[in-house]
C-alpha cells in the first residue's frame, strides 16, 4: 500500500509566494496530472488562491477540468490543425494554440462553420524548434490573420529552451527575438494580445521577462532545476509501510546484480515501492548539459557506494542493493520498527504513477 501525500498548506504557501513576486497574470501549468499532484484537486487549490488561467498539454486534461466545473480560461499548449480536435476545443471554450499556417486555417474554418469567433494564442518559435511561427514568417502571419475573420488573438507567446542555464544569453536572445516579432506585428496593425514567455526558471530569475503573464508549473512544487533561493517548499512525498521485517545472515547478497553483500547479520525491512512508482527515477538538478551527463555517469558508476535513504520512525534507513521495479530493501539496524510501520520517501510527484492514490493533508 502506498499514497502520494500532497501538503496543501505548503502548496498554498508556494502559490502565495509566487503571487507576491509579480504583478503579471499567472497561468498555472497543470500538465502531466498537474506535475503529479492531481489535476482537478490542484486546479481547485489554485482557484482558491485567485488563479484563474490554466494551461495544459493534452485536450483530455482540459476536458476533465471543464467536466469538474472549472470555468476559467484554459490554454492548450500545443498547436493543432486537426479539425476534430479544434471542434472539441472551441465547443468547450478551450483556447487553441496557433503555431502554423495550417492550424490558423483550420481554426478559422472550424470557427466560421460553428459561427463563432475563436480566441487563440499565437505561438512563435524563437529558438525552441518545436511549435510556433518562425520570426521570418511574421509578415505572412499578419497577412493571413487579416484574412481570418473567425480568429481573434487573445495572446502571443513563446517557449524558452534554456531558462535553467547558469548564463542567461540564450534566454535573452529568445526574448529579444520575441519582442522584435511583437513590434513587427504592431507595425502591421495586428494586436498580439497578452504576451507571455516566462516559465518557472525565467520567472524566478528574470523579472524583465514577466511581461503580461507568466506560465508556471514546477515552481509551485518547489522542484526546480536551479538552486531554490526563494524558499519554495518541496511538495509531495510517498508514504508506504514495511511489508516484511526479517534478518539476513552475514555474507548474503541483496537484490539484482548482487550489488550489496551483508558483512554481518542484519535486520532488514522490505518496502513495496520501486521505480514503477517513480522512486529513484529523478535526477537532481539538470541533466541538460553534457558536463552534467558525464557527472551523473561518474556517480552512477560509483553508485554501488551511493547511499540512498528512506525515513522510518523519524530515522534514516539506508537502502540496500538496487532499487527494484516494485520493491526496495532497507537496513533496520538500530531502528525499532516492525511490519506495517510507516515509511516515507522523497519522490518527485511528476514521476508517480497516476494510479497511486493522492492524499491531501
Ligand atoms: C511545461 C511548460 C511550462 C511550465 O514550465 P515550468 O518550468 O515547469 O514552469 C510553460 N510553458 C510551456 C509551453 C510548457 O510546456
Residues 323-358: tens digit of each pLDDT: 888 999 999 999 999 999 999 999 899 999 888 999
In the predicted structure, residue 284 carries a pLDDT above the cut 90: no
State the pLDDT confidence band at 1, using cuts at 50, 70 and 90. Answer: confident
Check residues 191 and 325 and name the one with the higher pLDDT.
Answer: 191
The ligand 1 atom at the shortest distance from the C-alpha of residue 224 is 7
Domains, the chain, in order of start with CATH, read 8-221 (3.20.20.10), 237-360 (2.40.37.10)
Which residues, judged by CB distance below 6 Å to any ligand atom, belong to the binding site of ligand 1? 29, 31, 77, 159, 199-201, 215-219
How far, in whole angstroms, is CA 125 from its chain's centroid? 20
SS3 of residue 245 by DSSP: strand
Q: Closest by alpha carbon to 65, among 26, 35, 31?
A: 31
**% of the chain surpassing 70 pLDDT:** 93
> Which residue's C-alpha comes closest to atom 13 of ligand 1?
159
The ligand 1 atom at the shortest distance from the C-alpha of residue 57 is 15
In the predicted structure, residue 95 carries a pLDDT above the cut 80: yes
pLDDT value at residue 166: 87
pLDDT value at residue 286: 46
Report the separation in Å between the CA atom of 180 and the middle of ligand 1, taken as the mean of its atom positions.
22
What mean pLDDT do residues 31-38 have? 95
CA distance 81 to 97: 10
196, three cell numbers:
507571455
Q: Closest by alpha carbon to 199, among 178, 216, 179, 186?
A: 216
Report the separation in Å between the CA atom of 145 and the middle of ligand 1, taken as the mean of its atom positions.
26
The ligand 1 atom at the shortest distance from the C-alpha of residue 219 is 9
How far, in whole angstroms, is CA 77 from its chain's centroid? 13
State the pLDDT confidence band at 205, using cuts at 50, 70 and 90. Answer: very high
CA distance 49 to 72: 13
Report the separation in Å between the CA atom of 87 and the middle of ligand 1, taken as the mean of its atom positions.
25
CA distance 269 to 247: 9
CA distance 342 to 243: 10
Would you give the DSSP letter of residue 17? Answer: H
Other C-beta atoms lying within 10 Å of the C-beta of residue 288: 12
Report the separation in Å between the CA atom of 217 and the middle of ligand 1, taken as the mean of its atom positions.
6
The ligand 1 atom at the shortest distance from the C-alpha of residue 27 is 10
Report the separation in Å between the CA atom of 202 and the middle of ligand 1, taken as the mean of its atom positions.
10
CA distance 112 to 131: 24
CA distance 6 to 348: 11
| Strands 213-216 and 194-198, bridge-based pairing | parallel
Q: What's the pTM?
A: 0.90
| Strands 2-6 and 357-360, bridge-based pairing | parallel
Amino acid at each position: 500500500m502506498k499514497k502520494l501525500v500532497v501538503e496543501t498548506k505548503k502548496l498554498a504557501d508556494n502559490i502565495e509566494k509566487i503571487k507576491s513576486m509579480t504583478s503579471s497574470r499567472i497561468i498555472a501549468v497543470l500538465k502531466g496530472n498537474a506535475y503529479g499532484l492531481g489535476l482537478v484537486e490542484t486546479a481547485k487549490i489554485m482557484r482558491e488562491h485567485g488563479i484563474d488561467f490554466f494551461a495544459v498539454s493534452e485536450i483530455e486534461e482540459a476536458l476533465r477540468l471543464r467536466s469538474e466545473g472549472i470555468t476559467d480560461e484554459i490554454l492548450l499548449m500545443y498547436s493543432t490543425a486537426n479539425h476534430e480536435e479544434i471542434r472539441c476545443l472551441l465547443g468547450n471554450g478551450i483556447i487553441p494554440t496557433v503555431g502554423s499556417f495550417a492550424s490558423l486555417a483550420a481554426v478559422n474554418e472550424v470557427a466560421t462553420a460553428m459561427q463563432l469567433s475563436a480566441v487563440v494564442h499565437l505561438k512563435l518559435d524563437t529558438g525552441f524548434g518545436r511549435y510556433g511561427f518562425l520570426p521570418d514568417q511574421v509578415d505572412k502571419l499578419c497577412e493571413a490573420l487579416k484574412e481570418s475573420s473567425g480568429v481573434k488573438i487573445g495572446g502571443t507567446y513563446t517557449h524558452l529552451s534554456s531558462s535553467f542555464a547558469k548564463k542567461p544569453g540564450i534566454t535573452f536572445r529568445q526574448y529579444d527575438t520575441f519582442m522584435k516579432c511583437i513590434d513587427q506585428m504592431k507595425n502591421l496593425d495586428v494586436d498580439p494580445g497578452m504576451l507571455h514567455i516566462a516559465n518557472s526558471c525565467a520567472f524566478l530569475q528574470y523579472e524583465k521577462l514577466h511581461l503580461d503573464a507568466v506560465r508556471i508549473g514546477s515552481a509551485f512544487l518547489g522542484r526546480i532545476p536551479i538552486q531554490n533561493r526563494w524558499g519554495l517548499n518541496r511538495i509531495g512525498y510517498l508514504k508506504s509501510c514495511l511489508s516484511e521485517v526479517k534478518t539476513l545472515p552475514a555474507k548474503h547478497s541483496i537484490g539484482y546484480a548482487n550489488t550489496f553483500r551483508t558483512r554481518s547479520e542484519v535486520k532488514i525491512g522490505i518496502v513495496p515501492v520501486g521505480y514503477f512508482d517513480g522512486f529513484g527515477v529523478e535526477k537532481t538538478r539538470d541533466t541538460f548539459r553534457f558536463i552534467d551527463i558525464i557527472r551523473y555517469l561518474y556517480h552512477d558508476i560509483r553508485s554501488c557506494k551511493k547511499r540512498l535513504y528512506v525515513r522510518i520512525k523519524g530515522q534514516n534507513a539506508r537502502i540496500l542493493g538496487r532499487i527494484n521495479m516494485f520493491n526496495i530493501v532497507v537496513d533496520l539496524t538500530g531502528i525499532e520498527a516492525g511490519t506495517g510501520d510507516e515509511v516515507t520517501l522523497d519522490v518527485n510527484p511528476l514521476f508517480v504513477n497516476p494510479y497511486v492514490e493522492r492524499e491531501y493533508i
